[in-house]
Structure 1
Amino acid sequence: MFAGLETLSGVGPKLKPLLERLVDGDTLWDLLLHLPERWVDRRVREGFDQVVFGEVATVSGEVHAYQAPYSDKAPHRIQLFDGTGFLTLAFFRADGRWLQGQFPIGSTRIVSGRVDDFNGERQMTHPDYIVDPKRGDPPPEVEPIYGLTAGLTNKRVHTLAVQALESIPDDLPEWGDPHLVAQKGWPSFRSALSGLHAPVRYDEAAFEAARTRLAYDEAIARESAFALARASRKRRKAPPIPKAPVEQSRLARSLPYQQTGAQVRAVAEISEDMSSQSPMRRMLQGDVGAGKTLVGAMAAVQAVSGGFQSAFMAPTEVLARQQYETLDGLLAPLGYSVASLTGRDKGAAREGTLMGIADGSIQIVTGTHALFQESVSFRNLGLIIVDEQHRFGVQDRMRLVSKGISPHMLVMSATPIPRTMAQAVHGDLDVTILDEKPAGRKPVETRAIPDTRMDEVIDAVGRAIRRGERAFWVCPKVDVDDDDSTAVGRHAALKDQLGVPVGLVHGRLKPTEKDAALEDFRTGRTRILVATTVIEVGVDVPEATIMVIERAEGFGLAQLHQLRGRVGRGDKPSFCLLLYRPPLGETARERLETLRRTEDGFEIAEADFKLRGPGDMLGLRQAGATDYRVIDLSRHADLLAIAKKDATAVVESDPDLAGPRGQSLRLVRELLTPKIETGSGS
């Protein structure tokens, strides 16, 4: 099954790279995992009156008439009759003599193709199959249809997939729960693959059962890997950090606001984890403004009270500095020592910070990738908090873990996702959700405005700037000649029209240039920041009261929600203006209306999931949720929960997977978890 694609008959040096690009791999197994997208029913219908416009149909009829084209652009027409009515076959730019040879008047022909309505009559243009029943068999009863790439035909891919089926051994063990497989009436693994690539008859229920079976196989493969990671982590020892209710209450009393119930619950769960002898691996997932940093600060207080240091890791220097300022404001007045370490720190200041981390006088440090460089040595690192965790790879987290003796880890994300998907996205992490907002946070008024009113929007932004406020202006592209919705173009226009300092930030800038532009806006040196979506996470500017998003209809709901979360952080009324180019399509209208109606990130995530599917939702591609080969999260989320329970039971009863079921799980993991990353950092 893991033989190269070149071992297939007919695959040479030209075809191999095309196939590899199509199936995202180079083995027969990769080809078999490139499942058909749908199946076409090619069974011969009883009569022309059975066909439905817009669908593929296979019919048999007698050739009734031939009509030559009346102009170069008109088709040749051949009329078939079968006793229930007529069907016209249309052929453009065809050879008339060849057609008359294929369709002699009075002969019977079987044709298969899409039937459309042409002036109230049935018409099939360029049939997929033309068969003389006296000389050949009718088309196959069912035809699998594959996603393709340039240079490959459906017939070629199907032929090669059927050939690849021969590589599957006959004696594969059953790795699924036998009771579940029997209860669901699922075919075996081998039968499921054969039933999708080489079905004998058209049977929608059988296709669905086979696909669901393979989705379960992938789910059990992933979940057994996660169950092993969890079991391994439980066996590892971590220094237990005692709960610190007195110190945490002191921090809570110093706040100018009340903690939410969700924050209190989150702190309790994290405290429990940290006080155990197994290393904590917990995901804290919260909406924009739900108060994740305070929960992280509470965990850091517990770590320091137990004699340990805490490290907060952020993906950019701007976010690391913001985090430092927030934590320093919260904790320094209570006597805690907080510092920051980023790539920008140089010379004596950097050396002083490194010494403070090494001798333990710095108790809490925030920083970027700089935190896990070789020169950084912690005296007693007990807690790691990773912000916007999907922006870091497993190796990054591992390198920071190596700075301590099995430290506890809390990863945080501001990307709400549907609860049904939390297990799929976060793997073996325990998940805590902050689903309440702190009291008193002002809602952001959201308006959808056609871009024909651009001048009014620019005037409104100008008035806000004159009142001392600041504004974000987001564009979908950096700089494209044939489109005016670009960051570079809008930056120049706003500078010219408003006559105020305007910043510009986009993905093509160097990291230092990006940081400088964000810092200028944060400190007020620029009053408007024109940007692409690079500012969707973490930039905290309380003076910013307006978020303008151009061509908003092209963004995903979750992404629009993240961008909107950049404003409404101060005490002034804030606005999010969604500029769209009319006319709006139905989906785009629904998306903008959802955003206008609610600020609940989890409700928005559910709506985005229904509208766009998991692949396009913000953060999920980076988090690895969309690298499933078979599972469709919108249809198979329930299988993940079933597989998790099943895999956990097997691993608990057979930790080494030495028994028959354990051995079979090893095999399916080999097949269906080729590049899995677990979030454990273990």
Structure 2
Amino acid sequence: MRPADLNPLFAAASALRGIGPKTGALLDRLLGRKGQPARVIDLLLHLPHATIDRRARPKIRDAARDAVVVIEGRVTAHHPPGNTRGRAPYKVLIEDDTGDVTLVFFLNNFAWVEKALPIGTTRWVSGKLESWDGHLQMVHPDRVMDEEGLKALPAVEPIYGLTDGLYPRILTKAVEAAVGRMPDLPEWLEPNRAILLGWPSFADALLAVHYPTSPSVLDPQSQPMQRLAYDELLASQFALATVRGRMRDNNGRPTIGTGVASDRILAALPFRLTAGQEEALAEIRADMAGPKRMLRLLQGDVGSGKTIVALLAMATAIEAGHQTALMVPTEILARQHFERLTTLGAHAGITVALLTGRDKASERAKTLEGLANGAIALVIGTHALFQDSVVFQDLGLIVVDEQHRFGVAQRLALTEKGRSADMLLMTATPIPRTLVMTVFGDMDASAVREKPAGRQSIETRAAPIERLSEVVAAMQRSIEEGARVYWVCPLVTESEEVDLVAAEERFETLCQVFGDKVRLVHGQMKPAERDAAVADFASGEARILVATTVIEVGIDVPEASIMVIEHAERFGLAQLHQLRGRVGRGQARSSCLLLYKAPLGETPGARIMTMRETEDGFRIAEEDLRLRGEGELIGTRQSGLPSFRVANLDHHAKLLTEARQDAADLYATDPTLKTPRGEAMRRLLYLFERDAAVRLIEAG
């Protein structure tokens, strides 16, 4: 259970004093999530991204131009526009003993100006001072204050991210109310750490950032920001240490194969393993042979041959008398793995089964029986694998493909099917080292870098969307020569419905040119229809497959040699690389065409340039991390981990390393968080929503 003193922080933000229903709805839009309104903790961790420095209080003569200043002046004249219906501004002159400034207001509420700036009074105004036609002016001052208002003005004003309709002063008041809810928290850092580094407490760090005394407080390397970033990284790393410890400490067992099934599979392959595949397989088998449960990440670029490595690892488990499971995110991918592995498994006498959400009741019952009595050695499936009805006789190895599409809880649910089962996570999105530490903690990782023999290089070109007719004409020539083409439609919004419209429109225009040689695939189709469209493309009956990003993983047609990605500027680098990897799998010379809408912005332009320069997924991953940040690169939201709200790996990579070691030490000495520091640590896990780790601890 969440400690009672934290409950006020998890109350709805709309319940705060001074927050009415209208503001509450705006806060929900800004900070809420699906099914969850904005909470007090969301306001506390919604840190300002910039400041307005109002410390300068110069005389008019000495005030800096094109900068925000606070000026004291006497109101000496009003110059209202002659025609109140026109767009002319209302001007007010203020002066001190060194000069004067014209205040300019473009608005119809002239009564407010007259009330706020009576002639003969002294007022303080704050805003950007600029020179116009030889005179000093301030257009729409941010603040117009009397002496009492000046006393309340923050010298350094924080600037927050907003949403339409939510004004800065309203959000500032909401943050003030949230700060008032902060309880007195125990210290969870090592006793000497904060003292040695001069860090404030967690609560004081939050106060310093929300009420900055200088703009430098928001620098990522400031003591308050470092403290908050370290706390978030420590919570994340301890949660990962707990998950890893739970998986590995549940009595592992040595799994050593005879090599018989593996040798038969190798003999059936039309190629030899690459050095990278052999090295990764050796690392996996060494883990499996050890006394602890394996938890290893297998990274490999698109088409690097990870699936064969996984199959040989599963063969080792089967040789030792265990069952194996391969979990994948989509039915398309499950069926393609099933077809390929069934053929290879037959050479080794391995019984392979398929389990998805749309199996017929009789098929499903037969599969469940085979898993329960041990007749099925290898099962391939989607989320259906971790349902309660799925029971294994002796599950020894779990392989999770495209692991970032499954949450931590889902992976844990599958491990419960085999209390001593080893786990191998696979990803075709190479992950930079810092991100491996962030998302997986101290997980062992293997990488398959080179492509197997026979994989074609892919020529990548870019062209503006205005040349669409030329592209279609060139495609006609290629199709006449036997080519098959993927045409991926743009990611218009996060709405599948909008994306679907784009795909259907492109499908219709291409049908006008190519007739019945075109098929359409998208996520809203019935699985049988989708499978039929893919089957037509694979057989050659169709030559063009128009698709949304549903083909990013899971469609493998070696004869496809052309990839067209429409509005490539709307896609991330990793996704572009994944899509490109659908071609170059057969003997034909392959190409990828990136169609973009000009002019290109700096970041989309950098993505397209990177795609043209390299096919190295590891280099692309590093560039993607630089361009997009760690939170979006591999979808930490999909992986079951909230993205960072404070920490930024560009600035806090060193803190990540330290937090990982700190978390490992704490887990080694106090895995159940019973010590005073451990009790404090529980609060940190809740504050940064890593409380799944607490539930694991409490579940034993």
Per the normalisation by structure 1, the TM-score is: 0.90
> Is 2:199 aligned against 1:186?
yes
Which residue number in structure 2 is paired with residue 69 of structure 1?
81
TM-superposed CA distance for 1:624, in Å, is 4.1
Which residue number in structure 2 is paired with residue 411 of structure 1?
425
Residue-by-residue CA offset, 1:420-466 (whole Å, 9 max, x unaligned): 11122235643333333224421110100112211111122222222
> Is 2:669 aligned against 1:661?
no
* Residues 63, 105 of structure 1: 8 Å contact kept: yes
**Structure 1 gaps, min length 5:** none
What is the identity, as a one-letter code, of the residue corresponding to 2:58? E
Which residue number in structure 2 is paired with residue 38 of structure 1?
50
Which residue number in structure 1 is paired with residue 512 of structure 2?
496
- Structure 1 window deviating more from structure 2 (380-389 vs 269-278): it is 269-278
TM-superposed CA distance for 1:139, in Å, is 2.6
Which residue number in structure 2 is paired with residue 532 of structure 1?
548
Partner Cα separation in structure 2 for residue 280 and residue 97 of structure 1: 74
User: Of residues 193, 198, 201 in structure 1, which corresponds to 2:211?
Assistant: 198
Partner Cα separation in structure 1 for residue 318 and residue 554 of structure 2: 26
Which residue number in structure 2 is paired with residue 638 of structure 1?
654
> Is 2:68 aligned against 1:56?
yes
Which residue number in structure 1 is paired with residue 315 of structure 2?
301
* Residues 394, 679 of structure 1: 8 Å contact kept: no
Which residue number in structure 1 is paired with residue 27 of structure 2?
19
Partner Cα separation in structure 2 for residue 583 and residue 423 of structure 1: 37
* Residues 39, 143 of structure 1: 8 Å contact kept: yes
Partner Cα separation in structure 1 for residue 219 and residue 558 of structure 2: 57
User: Of residues 645, 657, 666 in structure 2, which corresponds to 1:650?
Assistant: 666
TM-superposed CA distance for 1:264, in Å, is 2.3
What is the identity, as a one-letter code, of the residue corresponding to 1:40? I
- SS of equivalent residue, structure 1 residue 137: helix
Partner Cα separation in structure 2 for residue 153 and residue 305 of structure 1: 66
Which residue number in structure 2 is paired with residue 316 of structure 1?
330
Partner Cα separation in structure 1 for residue 694 and residue 283 of structure 2: 21
Cα distance 1:369–1:189, how it changes in 2: closer, same or farther (>3 A)? Answer: closer
Partner Cα separation in structure 2 for residue 573 and residue 656 of structure 1: 57
Partner Cα separation in structure 1 for residue 219 and residue 382 of structure 2: 51
User: Of residues 4, 18, 28 in structure 2, which corresponds to 1:10?
Assistant: 18
> Is 2:285 aligned against 1:285?
no
TM-superposed CA distance for 1:645, in Å, is 0.3
* Residues 480, 486 of structure 1: 8 Å contact kept: no
TM-superposed CA distance for 1:548, in Å, is 0.6
Cα distance 1:318–1:96, how it changes in 2: closer, same or farther (>3 A)? Answer: closer
TM-superposed CA distance for 1:573, in Å, is 0.7
TM-superposed CA distance for 1:109, in Å, is 3.3
- SS of equivalent residue, structure 1 residue 486: helix
- Structure 1 window deviating more from structure 2 (598-607 vs 669-678): it is 669-678
Cα distance 1:192–1:472, how it changes in 2: closer, same or farther (>3 A)? Answer: same
- For residues 433-444 of structure 1, what are the structure 2 equivalents within 5 Å? 433-444=447-458
* Residues 556, 616 of structure 1: 8 Å contact kept: no
- SS of equivalent residue, structure 1 residue 35: coil
- SS of equivalent residue, structure 1 residue 468: coil
Partner Cα separation in structure 1 for residue 67 and residue 487 of structure 2: 46
Residue-by-residue CA offset, 1:237-257 (whole Å, 9 max, x unaligned): 133211556764664455433
- SS of equivalent residue, structure 2 residue 638: helix
* Residues 79, 89 of structure 1: 8 Å contact kept: yes
User: Of residues 207, 215, 220 in structure 1, which corresponds to 2:229?
Assistant: 215
Which residue number in structure 1 is paired with residue 615 of structure 2?
599
> Is 2:377 aligned against 1:363?
yes
What is the identity, as a one-letter code, of the residue corresponding to 1:555? F
- For residues 512-551 of structure 1, what are the structure 2 equivalents within 5 Å? 512-551=528-567
Which residue number in structure 1 is paired with residue 571 of structure 2?
555
Percent identity of equivalent pairs: 47
- Structure 1 window deviating more from structure 2 (182-191 vs 625-634): it is 625-634
Residue-by-residue CA offset, 1:587-614 (whole Å, 9 max, x unaligned): 2222211111111122222222222323
TM-superposed CA distance for 1:270, in Å, is 1.4
* Residues 75, 93 of structure 1: 8 Å contact kept: yes
* Residues 47, 60 of structure 1: 8 Å contact kept: yes
Residue-by-residue CA offset, 1:107-130 (whole Å, 9 max, x unaligned): 643211234565676543211211
Cα distance 1:481–1:407, how it changes in 2: closer, same or farther (>3 A)? Answer: closer
- For residues 8-407 of structure 1, what are the structure 2 equivalents within 5 Å? 8-24=16-32, 25=37, 27-47=39-59, 55-63=67-75, 66-69=78-81, 72-81=86-95, 87-94=101-108, 99=113, 102-103=116-117, 108-115=122-129, 118=132, 123-133=137-147, 137=151, 139-170=153-184, 172-200=185-213, 203-204=216-217, 208-244=222-258, 248=262, 251-252=265-266, 254-346=268-360, 353-373=367-387, 376-407=390-421
Cα distance 1:482–1:53, how it changes in 2: closer, same or farther (>3 A)? Answer: farther
* Residues 421, 637 of structure 1: 8 Å contact kept: no
Cα distance 1:6–1:422, how it changes in 2: closer, same or farther (>3 A)? Answer: same
Which residue number in structure 2 is paired with residue 566 of structure 1?
582
TM-superposed CA distance for 1:147, in Å, is 2.3
- Structure 1 window deviating more from structure 2 (216-225 vs 557-566): it is 216-225
Residue-by-residue CA offset, 1:507-549 (whole Å, 9 max, x unaligned): 3323443333233322333211111111111211111111111
What is the identity, as a one-letter code, of the residue corresponding to 2:523? G
* Residues 491, 504 of structure 1: 8 Å contact kept: yes
Partner Cα separation in structure 2 for residue 138 and residue 224 of structure 1: 42
Residue-by-residue CA offset, 1:338-376 (whole Å, 9 max, x unaligned): 333334544766565455444434322222334345554
Aligned-pair RMSD on alpha carbons?
Answer: 3.4
What is the identity, as a one-letter code, of the residue corresponding to 1:157? L
* Residues 47, 59 of structure 1: 8 Å contact kept: yes
* Residues 36, 145 of structure 1: 8 Å contact kept: yes
- Structure 1 window deviating more from structure 2 (255-264 vs 111-120): it is 111-120
Which residue number in structure 2 is paired with residue 430 of structure 1?
444
Partner Cα separation in structure 1 for residue 334 and residue 497 of structure 2: 35
Residue-by-residue CA offset, 1:468-520 (whole Å, 9 max, x unaligned): 22101111158999999921111011111123421112233234433332333
What is the identity, as a one-letter code, of the residue corresponding to 1:301? A
**Structure 2 gaps, min length 5:** 1-5
- SS of equivalent residue, structure 2 residue 180: helix
Cα distance 1:296–1:517, how it changes in 2: closer, same or farther (>3 A)? Answer: same
* Residues 262, 436 of structure 1: 8 Å contact kept: yes
Partner Cα separation in structure 1 for residue 308 and residue 65 of structure 2: 60
> Is 2:643 aligned against 1:627?
yes
What is the identity, as a one-letter code, of the residue corresponding to 2:242? L
TM-superposed CA distance for 1:411, in Å, is 1.7
Residue-by-residue CA offset, 1:613-637 (whole Å, 9 max, x unaligned): 2344353331245533322344333
- Structure 1 window deviating more from structure 2 (250-259 vs 70-79): it is 250-259
* Residues 490, 548 of structure 2: 8 Å contact kept: yes
Which residue number in structure 2 is paired with residue 673 of structure 1?
689
Cα distance 1:101–1:359, how it changes in 2: closer, same or farther (>3 A)? Answer: closer
Partner Cα separation in structure 2 for residue 566 and residue 347 of structure 1: 33
Partner Cα separation in structure 1 for residue 289 and residue 61 of structure 2: 73
* Residues 237, 438 of structure 2: 8 Å contact kept: no
* Residues 176, 220 of structure 1: 8 Å contact kept: no
Residue-by-residue CA offset, 1:311-357 (whole Å, 9 max, x unaligned): 11222222112112332343422333333333454476656545544
* Residues 485, 544 of structure 2: 8 Å contact kept: yes
What is the identity, as a one-letter code, of the residue corresponding to 2:49? E
* Residues 562, 592 of structure 2: 8 Å contact kept: yes
Partner Cα separation in structure 2 for residue 646 and residue 262 of structure 1: 33
Partner Cα separation in structure 1 for residue 7 and residue 361 of structure 2: 53
- SS of equivalent residue, structure 2 residue 637: helix
Cα distance 1:343–1:141, how it changes in 2: closer, same or farther (>3 A)? Answer: closer
Residue-by-residue CA offset, 1:541-575 (whole Å, 9 max, x unaligned): 11111111111112111111111111111111111
* Residues 475, 485 of structure 1: 8 Å contact kept: no
